[in-house]
Structure 1
Amino acid sequence: MKIGFIGTGNMSRSLGILWAERGHNVFWGSRDPNKAKSVAELAGHKTQGGTNDEAAEFGDVIFYSVRGIKPSVVLSSIDHLTGKVILDCNNRDIPEGFTYGPLMAESLAEKLAADIPKAHVVKAFNTMAQEVFELSPQPLTEHQVSVYICSDHPGAKQTAMVLAGEIGFNPVDCGPLRSARLLESLGDFIRFMIGGMNLGPYATISVKILPDALQQRLGGRQPSS
């Protein structure tokens, strides 16, 4: 699979290297092409680096890690993204003291989708720090580390789930893109636990399905409002 990265930050660099190790064709883009090329030199595996436009044209899947800036500003033309799977890992800025305001009325992923209506936006990889990727694929698989994924496009969502599984994560289908409001709030919470509660960058959240109880000794769930 051809994967283009718009941005060369920690998340893009880490995931790009992991997917390149698994045989995918990777191209990093940046406002500074030399920076993107230096990431490719670090990664090896015949990866490439250049401009954001080149990365957008290259990939069938695009990892978009530029927070708070629309593709229509970053790229010379959003037509580069038509019909492509766009992975959005972004969270909102952390306020002083982690004093977040009201729950968001619209997620960053939904705003991104509105700017590129002919692309297929997927929310994913926003609930963990970069350090977690250093553990890929083990012990991520052993600990069943979850990646929460939502999109309005079933095929795009499935692509994201396959890519997550390839590097050791347990992908969790979280429904339509509207669910990104919940996932971005979850991203706020995990960053609070990492930084505000000083649990460190290896703290993460996973969904585990427990076996059914063999008996309802507590009376079971009763109807309620």
Structure 2
Amino acid sequence: MKIGILGSGNMGSSLGLLWAEQGHEVFFGGRTTEKGRAVAALAEQGTQGGTNDEAARFGDVLLYTIRGINPAEVLTSVEVLSGKIIIDCNNFEIPEGFAYAPIELSLAEKLASQVPNARVVKAFNTMAQEVFELAPSPLKDYQVSVFVCADDAQARQTVMKLAEDIGFTAVDCGELRHSRLVEGLGNFIRFMIIGQLQNPYTTLSIDVLPAASEQRLGGRQP
């Protein structure tokens, strides 16, 4: 698959390299040609680098790592995004004391409103960049969840497969409005990583246990 990385900071460079290692074609975009090419030179694996405009044209799937900024401010024209899958991996800034306001509109929904002809998917916002160092193995042994939301079911499945390619366990979270909940999880995991456990390898995993053989506690009441 052809993947364009828009914004080649820690998240973009890490995920781009991991996907390249799995045989995907990756183009790293940056504010300048030099920035994008520098990331590609470090990543190797046959990756390419250049501007964000070039990355947007290249990829069928785009990773958008530029938090809260309208693509119209990043790209010469947003028309290049029409029909493409755009992965939003961003979280809100951390407020003082982790005093987050309720999320009434997620970053992913805001992005989707700015590029209505693209297919926006929320994913990869509930772990620190350090976790990617474990991908794809031994990461796959720990069943770390990537929560995936999108209104377009095919786009959702595509991103779930990309997550599984690099050792994550993809969790289908349904339509894009559920990204409000997923971004809330991103806030929570950063609180645990930074405020409580002070360990960047703290992650979230969803598991389904076997049903109890008997309801000795009375069971759930209607």
Q: TM-score, normalised by structure 1?
A: 0.97
Secondary structure of the 1:134 match is: helix
Deviation digits for residues 11-37 of structure 1, max 9, x if unmatched? 101100000001110001111221211
Q: CA deviation at 1:52?
A: 0.5
Name the counterpart of 1:55: 55
Name the counterpart of 2:97: 97
Name the counterpart of 1:35: 35
Q: Say whether residues 1:208 and 2:186 are aligned partners.
A: no
Q: CA deviation at 1:138?
A: 1.8
Name the counterpart of 1:195: 194
What are the residue-to-residue correspondences of 1:117-156 with 2, within 5 Å?
Answer: 117-156=116-155
Paired AA for residue 175 in structure 1 = G
Deviation digits for residues 127-152 of structure 1, max 9, x if unmatched? 00000011111222111100000000
Paired AA for residue 207 in structure 2 = K
Secondary structure of the 2:188 match is: helix
Name the counterpart of 1:66: 66
* Counterpart Cα distance in 1 of 2:37 and 2:153: 33
Secondary structure of the 2:211 match is: coil
Deviation digits for residues 77-133 of structure 1, max 9, x if unmatched? 0011010000000000001121212x1110000000000000000000000000001
Name the counterpart of 1:175: 174
Secondary structure of the 1:151 match is: coil
Q: Say whether residues 1:80 and 2:105 are aligned partners.
A: no
Q: TM-score, normalised by structure 2?
A: 0.98
Paired AA for residue 137 in structure 2 = Q
* Counterpart Cα distance in 1 of 2:76 and 2:35: 19
* Counterpart Cα distance in 2 of 1:174 and 1:215: 30
* Counterpart Cα distance in 2 of 1:140 and 1:88: 22
* Counterpart Cα distance in 1 of 2:155 and 2:18: 20
Secondary structure of the 1:147 match is: strand
* Counterpart Cα distance in 1 of 2:139 and 2:216: 35
Q: CA deviation at 1:215?
A: 1.1
Q: How many residues align?
A: 222
Cα RMSD after superposing both structures: 0.8
* Counterpart Cα distance in 1 of 2:64 and 2:157: 18
